[in-house]
Chain A
Amino acid sequence: MPSTAYITFASIMRYFFVLAMLYILVRITVQSVREYLSIRRAKYWVDGVFAATVKFIAPEEFENASFELAKKNAIGSSKRCELYIDGCNLEKKHVVLIQKKHGAYLEVRASVKINGKKHGKGEVLPLYDGDKIELNSVAFIFNTRLKEEKNAQN
């Protein structure tokens, strides 16, 4: 039979054990979800999902520079943009390049040319591998490993 002192100590410790278990459970769940998301990101990258890049061809100082895109990428002269380009006569947020699971889109906020064709403010256009995007004096090629049917959009 345990002593009175032990019974008192054990009675206090029971709250500790329950709260400690709860804390461990919450922490395991949070870290487990992070691990799951990390592996999912890797699998997406292998499949080309959310793995598009842009390669600059103009101006000269940016030529051949390549950037991996995030899910949402604002491109413009504002420092808040994911791709901030200064001194090329761009609007603060010139375009927004959005990646989805099945493809990518360009939200036009100021005048752009895609493969030589002009597009105006407010247009939302799908992007395909190899598309050339021109924003005034800035030009880049959009690259993706996702296989898309160009005709599907038309």
Chain B
Amino acid sequence: MRKIKHVNSAGLLFLVVAFIMTGFFLLSFAGEKYDFLALLFAVTAGVLMLAVYVILIKISRHADRFVIIVADLLIGIGLLIQYRLNTDNAFRQLLFLVVGIILMFIIMALIKNTKFFEYISWPLMIVSIAVLSVLFFVGKEVGGARNWIIIAGIQFQPSEFVKLAFVVVLADWLTDRYRFFDLIIPMIFVFMIVGILMLERDLGAAVLLFGTSLIMFYVATGRKGAVLTGVGIGAIGAVGSYYLFDHVKARVAIWLNPWATYTTNGYQIAQGLMAIATGGMWGVGLGVGSPKLIPMYNNDYIFAVICEEFGVIFGILLIAFYLVLVIRGAIIALNATEKFYMLLSFGCTTIIALQSIIIIGGVIKMIPLTGITLPFVSQGGSSMIACLMMLGVLEGVSARSGMMLENRMAEIEEEMRTNENEA
């Protein structure tokens, strides 16, 4: 039977695991005493990555191997840096990684075998709006944004999970609707979500979801006019929020000249830039830098920490890996056989791409800084779990497309055999 030939990438995975373990081996000598726990952590993470790969290929040989390998590399670098910064946080991150992996496989199985996601858009819409609205009353403010909830002692960010729900809802509505009047409800949904996030001062998530919705609208409908109108509305909203909200004004002022308020508001950006400059092209060395001088060094400013210790070249290579991830995500979307899954995988890829651009752009002062995490790398359980769930979507769509393509190949072969016998 004719089959799709997939490139063997097990060697590449071993390379990635070896790379991560080398980092932990180096880190084990960083303290006053030799740190065996670092090696144990590395072995655990390495075994976990290998196990995930094997299980993924067993579930479906059509799952995209390169997406999971790139994600493993980013997660590995994140764990390495987290361990270097704070051992307890690293272990907590490993735990969230395990939870995220389980959810990833569940989502992958749901997409590969059922049309489950096509039928839950209304409940997801209502739950997303409700969850974000509840934050007004019970949400905890962190870094100026009221976007955290504490349930049973565990702190998590609902907006991270709303991202996936947002993409599912939009993908469902945009699958077979093209007329303006048919799209009023998803437009209202987008404006409500973005509005609530703006009011909660979660500017990063607001910009991210608005940008994602514009891109998804364009991909689904091809309507340049509607999308340009959306960009215009977004621009008016941005200018309006600059004049209406003091925190937006402050963010823009800090971005334009952090050195003017170096000891107060501009301290974080200035310290981040100085850290990157201190690292130079090759970095100061793992464990040698001074990351704790940067506020929020383990989540928002993790990229600056990486550049300080590993260098700017390493930082550029990290961005290149995000680009590979985004390109693979786009290929998965293009190979999808049904429009819903094409939009779903494209939406998830767009979120990963935009999130990376927004946070890295903010750290290097290309755009005003917003408080969102670097996917797979930053410390944060909600972020890690949400990113892995999106990875599950991509793997599920890849598996489904591959399976359908191979079934079609088998049908054609059978037809050819029948025609030959008849002849």
Interface residues of A (CB under 8 A from B): 2-3, 6-7, 9-11, 13-18, 20-25, 27-29, 31-32, 34-36, 38-39, 42-43, 45-46, 145
Which residue from A9, A15, A46, A145 sits with its C-beta under 8 Å from B29? A9
Contact B287 A2 (CB under 8 A): yes
Residues of B within 8 A of A29 (CB): 324
Interface residues of B (CB under 8 A from A): 2, 4-7, 9, 12, 15-16, 19, 22-23, 26, 29-32, 65-66, 69-70, 73, 282-288, 309-311, 313-314, 317-318, 320-321, 324, 327-328, 331, 335, 402, 405-406, 408-409, 412
Which residue from A2, A9, A20, A38 sits with its C-beta under 8 Å from B6? A38
Main DSSP-derived SS at the B contact region: helix
Q: Identify the closest chain A residue to B335 (Cβ).
A: A39
A25 to B19, CA, bound (A): 12
Residues of A within 8 A of B310 (CB): 14, 17-18
A21 to B286, CA, bound (A): 15
A-B contacts, 25 of them at CB < 8 A, read A2-B31, A2-B287, A6-B287, A6-B288, A10-B285, A10-B287, A10-B288, A11-B288, A14-B285, A17-B23, A18-B313, A23-B15, A24-B73, A27-B12, A31-B12, A31-B66, A35-B7, A35-B65, A35-B66, A38-B4, A39-B402, A39-B405, A42-B4, A45-B2, A46-B412
A118 to B65, CA, bound (A): 52
A30 to B406, CA, bound (A): 24
Contact B409 A42 (CB under 8 A): yes
Contact B7 A38 (CB under 8 A): yes
**Minimum CB–CB distance for A62 against chain B, Å:** 16
Contact A13 B19 (CB under 8 A): no
Contact B7 A18 (CB under 8 A): no
Residues of B within 8 A of A27 (CB): 12, 15
Contact B7 A7 (CB under 8 A): no
Residues of A within 8 A of B9 (CB): 31
The total of Cβ contacts below 8 Å across the A-B interface reads 114
Q: Identify the closest chain A residue to B29 (Cβ).
A: A6
Residues of B within 8 A of A13 (CB): 22, 26, 285-286
Residues of B within 8 A of A32 (CB): 66, 324, 327-328
Q: Identify the closest chain B residue to A7 (Cβ).
A: B288
A25 to B29, CA, bound (A): 28
Which residue from B31, B314, B405 sits with its C-beta under 8 Å from A42? B405
**Minimum CB–CB distance for A26 against chain B, Å:** 10
A92 to B222, CA, bound (A): 53
A45 to B4, CA, bound (A): 10
Question: If the complex has contacts A13-B26, A24-B19, A31-B7, are A46 and B314 also in contact, measured as CB distance less than 8 A?
Answer: no
A10 to B327, CA, bound (A): 33
Contact B324 A17 (CB under 8 A): no
Residues of A within 8 A of B73 (CB): 24
**Minimum CB–CB distance for A79 against chain B, Å:** 28
Residues of A within 8 A of B69 (CB): 28
Which residue from B4, B30, B286, B288 sits with its C-beta under 8 Å from A17? B286
**Minimum CB–CB distance for B360 against chain A, Å:** 16
Q: Give me the 3 closest cross-chain CB pairs, A-B, nearest first.
A: A10-B285, A21-B317, A35-B7
**Minimum CB–CB distance for B282 against chain A, Å:** 5
Residues of A within 8 A of B7 (CB): 31, 34-35, 38
Q: Identify the closest chain B residue to A51 (Cβ).
A: B412
Residues of B within 8 A of A36 (CB): 331
A58 to B16, CA, bound (A): 56
Residues of B within 8 A of A45 (CB): 2, 409, 412
Contact B321 A25 (CB under 8 A): yes
A134 to B288, CA, bound (A): 76
Q: Identify the closest chain B residue to A29 (Cβ).
A: B324
A28 to B49, CA, bound (A): 17
Q: Identify the closest chain A residue to B32 (Cβ).
A: A3
Residues of B within 8 A of A38 (CB): 4-7
Question: If the complex has contacts A18-B313, A32-B328, A38-B7, are A25 and B286 also in contact, measured as CB distance less than 8 A?
Answer: no
**Minimum CB–CB distance for A120 against chain B, Å:** 31
Contact A11 B285 (CB under 8 A): yes
**Minimum CB–CB distance for B52 against chain A, Å:** 17
Specify which of B284, B285, B318 lies most central, judged by the most chain A CB atoms within 10 Å of its CB.
Answer: B285
**Minimum CB–CB distance for A133 against chain B, Å:** 18
Q: Identify the closest chain A residue to B15 (Cβ).
A: A24
Q: Identify the closest chain A residue to B8 (Cβ).
A: A31
**Minimum CB–CB distance for B345 against chain A, Å:** 15
Contact B408 A46 (CB under 8 A): yes
A38 to B3, CA, bound (A): 11
Residues of A within 8 A of B283 (CB): 14, 17-18
**Minimum CB–CB distance for A46 against chain B, Å:** 5
Given A11-B284, A15-B282, A21-B318, 15 other A-B residues pairs in contact with their CB atoms under 8 A: A10-B284, A11-B285, A13-B286, A14-B286, A14-B311, A20-B19, A21-B317, A24-B12, A27-B12, A28-B66, A28-B321, A28-B324, A31-B7, A38-B4, A39-B405
Q: Identify the closest chain B residue to A27 (Cβ).
A: B12
Residues of B within 8 A of A9 (CB): 26, 29
